[in-house]
Amino acid sequence: MNAIVTNQITKSFNGFIAVNEIDISVKEGELFGLLGPNGAGKTTLINLLSTMIRPTSGTGTVNGFDIVHDSASVRAVIGVVFQGSTLDEQLTGLENLDLHGRLYGLSAGLRKKRIDEVLDLVELSHKSGLLVKTYSGGMIRRLEIARGLMHHPKVLFLDEPTLGLDPQTRLHIWDYIRRLNREEGITIVLTTHYMEEADNLCDRIAIVDNGRVVALDKPEKLKSALGSDVIILTLDTPEDAKKFYRVCKETGYVSASTKDQTVYISVKKSEEAVPEVFKTAFTSGTNIQSITMRKSTLDDIFIHYTGRGIRDELVDDITYMKYKLQTKR
Amino acid sequence: MGAMLSFQTVYTMWLREMLRFKRAKSRIVGSLATPLFFLIILGTAMGSSYNIENYKEFMAPGIIAMVLLFSSIFGGVSVMWDREFGFLKEILIAPVNRFCIALGKAFGGVTTAMIQGVLLMIITNVFGVHYKSLLGMLLSIPIMFIIGIGFISLGIALATKIESHEGFQMVMSFLTMPLVLLSGAFFPLSKLPDWLRIAVHLNPLTYGVEALRFTLIGESEIPIVVCLVVLTSFAITTTAIGGWLFGRMEV
């Protein structure tokens, strides 16, 4: 059975189409990733599925419940960890969890049991009596995840679960997410703009750009569709790069793209393709400054499908978080 | 189960406000300093300068109503801070009735406002303001509740429409201050020019001030029944509007 199905779901804000006729289905127990740059529409999609906003057109179901007509049933079976903190910072961790349990109708005994469980899971038992405003970013994130699990949701939405966290905490949170998915069988949908996060965690990935799903498959399938190696050429000028990029396209390499004076070419086997590339460069009169080879990453997939790198327009995370805080909503 | 769950929701939101109040206790008690200065300094000065008998007694119910107004509107508008700091999402995503959430929030805020009002009533009494009777003081408490509910719901309704700190400042200066000044908290209603009298009578806070005057000092210019009808209608109307707007809120 599918945990989530959307049918041509669309959301526009004052004429700006944030989510554009997206059709996806997520299987029960799947760890599903939405990958894309900031502003691609990932968060809007999560907000739609979690009934925080209503679609402009199209429909969707979560756990079989319609997100528009049966939003209360949807809300009862989902857990959501939003991008920013949604904790009450004036209260302690324990009080935040307790209020959550009450809102979800858990009895006093059950609340206590679940609170102990989830605090244990995210290793915050010893800090639960402190005010949340004294927590670090990682602790806040973990407490949010703990709270999202307290009512045993069938589907958990994680919006950028590791945004702005240090690498160690990130690994930690990845571990939780995997364990929740495997041991508890919770269907998880997460959004991220970190390639390695999607690659590491997800069973399937939907690449989202400008409100549309431009590719959807298992990470390894997405990668193998491109060829497993990438050849990176540095040329004299950006114009040269553009020209050579066009030549490559005509020559029929699996995929090529360009940025500044660099050209990326995806190939099956770089050892065999390099002489070919040299030959093409020679016949088209292009001068190669340097050449590098490496294995394909999801980054390359992203460039392939959207025509640009995921990091091109990406301010660093801290700047982005600050921006988010200033322009809340 | 529906009724039980609704009650649980209202109680949860009330509990949250109380937990926050517990931590902000000193700040909230400290906020009583300003109205006390008003009463002691302005009350004494006006009374003696213009030779008005019992001006402090006249002014005290007005000052209590003023504190209730500030505290309630602020409590309602705090929904805006909940949105700002994200907690509103946690509430709105929960599988509960949003009207109950708004109601719980209102009850929580009104409890805080009433604690302030009652404290101020006791403190002013200790400082030598004579109230008519203990019964009158006790009867003031339910009146404080009705005043508080009305304005807190107004605050909630405004918060669903306010998007920024500037908006919050606007509410405070263009709504709260005129409401206080136009309430008859500081002056009698009988000798006002027409335009001012009409404005004062259109102000729901006037009826709160008058009702408190009736219970605390035993005299009011507007009959207590009229006051109670107006205050209750105001509270029901704003609660309905506030609850409805809150239910339609998108984050």
DSSP string for residues in A273-309: HHHHHHHHHHHTTPPEEEEEEEE--HHHHHHHHHSS-
A54 is a domain residue: yes
More confident residue, A195 or A88: A88
A302 is a domain residue: no
DSSP string for residues in B20-45: HHHHTHHHHHHTTHHHHHIIIIIHHH
A323 is a domain residue: no
Co-location of A121 and A262 in the same domain? no
State residue A323's pLDDT score.
53
Q: Which residues of A touch B105 (CB under 8 A)?
A: none
Co-location of A141 and A268 in the same domain? no
Confidence of residue B146 (pLDDT cuts 50, 70, 90): very high
Co-location of A193 and A232 in the same domain? no
The arithmetic mean of pLDDT across residues B204-219, rounded, is 95
Instruction: Tell me the percentage of chain A whose pLDDT exceeds 90.
Output: 40
The arithmetic mean of pLDDT across residues B3-12, rounded, is 90
Confidence of residue A328 (pLDDT cuts 50, 70, 90): very low
Co-location of A81 and A191 in the same domain? yes
A105 is a domain residue: yes
Confidence of residue B26 (pLDDT cuts 50, 70, 90): confident
Co-location of A120 and A250 in the same domain? no
Number of domains in chain B: 1
B215 to chain A nearest CA, in Å?
Answer: 37
Co-location of A140 and A239 in the same domain? no
More confident residue, B62 or B26: B62
| Beta-carbon separation of A329 and B5 below 8 A | no
State residue A260's pLDDT score.
77
Co-location of A101 and A238 in the same domain? no
d(CA B59, CA B215): 14
Range(s) of the domain holding residue A132 = 2-222
CATH of the domain at A290: 3.30.70.270
Number of domains in chain A: 2
State in Å, rounded, how far the first CA of chain A is from the last one: 34
Instruction: Reply yes or no on whether the pLDDT at A167 is more than 80.
Output: yes
CATH of the domain at A168: 3.40.50.300
d(CA B205, CA B183): 6
| Beta-carbon separation of A80 and B93 below 8 A | yes
State residue B198's pLDDT score.
94
Please give the interface size between A and B, counted as residue pairs whose CB atoms are below 8 Å apart. 70
What mean pLDDT, rounded, does chain A reach? 85
Co-location of A46 and A163 in the same domain? yes
B189 to chain A nearest CA, in Å?
Answer: 43
Range(s) of the domain holding residue B47 = 2-247
Strand partners, A22: A9
Co-location of A166 and A18 in the same domain? yes
Co-location of A147 and A8 in the same domain? yes
Of B8, B19, B83, the CB nearest to A91: B19
A304 is a domain residue: no
Domain end position, chosen among A222, A246, A268: A222
Q: Which residues of A touch B12 (CB under 8 A)?
A: 99, 102-103
CB distance A162 to A200 below 8 Å: no
State residue B204's pLDDT score.
96
How do residues A87-102 score in pLDDT, each as one tens digit?
999 999 999 999 999 9
CB distance A140 to A87 below 8 Å: yes
A308 is a domain residue: no
> Token pair of B170, please?
């606007």
The arithmetic mean of pLDDT across residues A64-71, rounded, is 92
H helix or E strand, kind and range, residue A194: none
ipTM surpassing 0.90, yes or no? no
Who's near A281: CB < 8 A, 6+ residues apart? A233, A244, A287, A288
Co-location of A142 and A26 in the same domain? yes
| Beta-carbon separation of A88 and B87 below 8 A | yes
Domain end position, chosen among A222, A240, A272: A222
Co-location of A166 and A259 in the same domain? no
Domain end position, chosen among A170, A193, A222: A222
d(CA A269, CA A20): 37
Interface residue A129 vs chain B (CB under 8 A): no
